[in-house]
Amino acid sequence: MLRKRSFWIVLLIVVAIVVVVVIRSRKPAEGPEKALTAPVAVAQQGDLTAQLQVAGQFIPYQNVDVHAKISGYVRWIKVDIGDIVHTNEVMAKLEVPELRDQLAETKAAVQHAQAQVVREQDEVAHADAAYRAIHLNYTRLAEAAKERPGLIAQQEIDDYQARDLEAAAKIDVAKAAYEAAEQQLSLARSNEDRVNALYAYTDIVSPYNGVVTFRYADTGALVPAGTSSNGTSTGTESMPVVKVAQSDLLRLRMPVPEGDVPYINIGGKVDVHVDATGEVFPGKIIRFTRALDPSTRTMLTEVDVPNPKLTLTTGMYAETTFYLKTKHDAVYVPAQAVVTSGNSYYILVLDATNHVEKRIVKLGIQTPNRTEIIDGGLKAGEKVIASGQDNYRDGDLIDPRPAFIPTAAQEEGK
């Protein structure tokens, strides 16, 4: 009997405890709903531009080894690395003894040919004067014999006629000799011009405005004929004299990923930020390869950057922002409001009573700080949780607090 009574006592105690637990568990639900604090942003509508940021490197617009066009010894060289040079500026002078001798010989040949022309010209003048005198006498005798036949012996007339013809023939000979002398003078001058042109090659000149980036030869060095400044090969054993880089205009060269290649166009606007100097300036796409590198799946793209004061140095890096495409009236949210879940994306939207609603969305244009929502029913003016989305669930009541969202000017770094 005692055991039976103890059993019922224990049973009553257990039932009482269960009732108390149930009552206590129901009390919070019956009280006011507790709101969670969350940073909230408002969906906006307006123009949105897709951007691409790519690191690039400055290289010279042109960069060549300057070779000698003829073999010779370096007589003097006045430039060294870092020196600024200008188009056609003489940077070094070669000594070519045999060419100097040829130049002296051709000058002497021209002088001799000029003297010969003068002599032959005098001979033509003398022959012409002699012919005129003889022809005048012959004409007078012939007219007198015609007016008074028998006055002058026919033999005398025939002698003057023969002398007239001989004098005329001497003029032709003198003229032929004069023409030959002129031809010889022309040949001598052509030869002189040729040797002068070769002698001009003893001047090693800069092909453009630039900076000497390397010096290969010193005074007294034997420089064989090699590749000219325009890239024409003239020999197998060649040694350049200097290397000149055109640095007043630079190429900013960048690899553009395959997915963004369709949006790259000549004249497309870019912003260039130079890491080393802090400079930011606008630019335009000048050229691109129109072919992908199979190893990197990128396309080489170039922007020309004027550098008149040489403040930028080849080899420097720059961050380039490409503006790929713009969409008008796009609905967008802060980039951090979008959560990636596997292969899909979602956002947490607040309804009219500030309760959380999870929405699966599709994305459109993306910028560093903004993302377009193209599918998911989001409308401009709706509130979305801007960060810490893992702390909230569907149905949670939210006490919204404004999230810091950079302005468009802050986003573009202006």
The mean pLDDT value for 174-191 works out to: 90
Instruction: Give me the pLDDT at residue 148, please.
Output: 74
| CATH of the structural domain 68-95+202-240, one choice from 2.40.50.100, 2.30.110.10, 3.90.1300.10, 3.30.750.24 | 2.40.50.100
The mean pLDDT value for 279-306 works out to: 95
**Cβ(68)–Cβ(215) under 8 Å?**
no
The most confident of 24-28, 109-113, 225-229, 249-253, by mean pLDDT:
249-253
Tell whether the model's pLDDT for residue 46 goes beyond 80.
yes
Alpha carbon 404 to its chain centroid, in Å, reads: 41
Instruction: Give me the pLDDT at residue 45, please.
Output: 92
Instruction: Give me the pLDDT at residue 15, please.
Output: 62
Cα(198)–Cα(195) distance, integer angstroms: 5
Instruction: Give me the pLDDT at residue 134, please.
Output: 81
Percent of the chain with pLDDT over 70: 86
H helices present in 148-215, as ranges: 154-200
Structure tokens at 406: 């950079």
Percent of the chain with pLDDT over 90: 52
Instruction: Give me the pLDDT at residue 228, please.
Output: 43
Instruction: Give me the pLDDT at residue 58, please.
Output: 96
Q: Name the phi and psi angles at 36, rounded to 5.
A: -100, 135
Q: Side chain identity at 4, as an amino acid letter? A: K
In CATH terms, is domain 53-58+246-326 a member of 3.40.50.720? no
The mean pLDDT value for 49-74 works out to: 93
**Cβ(48)–Cβ(365) under 8 Å?**
yes
Mean pLDDT of the chain: 85
Give 284's contacts (C-beta < 8 A, 6+ positions apart).
Answer: 267, 268, 269, 270, 303
pLDDT band per the 50, 70, 90 thresholds, residue 174: confident
* 282/6: higher pLDDT: 282
Per-residue pLDDT of 134-159, as tens digits, reads: 888 778 777 777 777 766 777 777 77
Q: Which residues pair with 256 in a beta bridge?
A: 299
Q: Name the phi and psi angles at 105, rounded to 5.
A: -65, -45
Tell whether the model's pLDDT for residue 267 goes beyond 60.
yes
Residue 233 DSSP class: B
pLDDT band per the 50, 70, 90 thresholds, residue 208: very high
Which CATH number is associated with domain 36-48+328-411? 2.40.420.20
Cα(224)–Cα(201) distance, integer angstroms: 12
Q: Which residues pair with 166 in a beta bridge?
A: none
Structure tokens at 38: 């969350």
Cα(187)–Cα(353) distance, integer angstroms: 103
Give 405's contacts (C-beta < 8 A, 6+ positions apart).
Answer: 41, 334, 369, 386
The predicted model scores a pTM of: 0.62
Per-residue pLDDT of 95-105, as tens digits, reads: 988 888 888 88
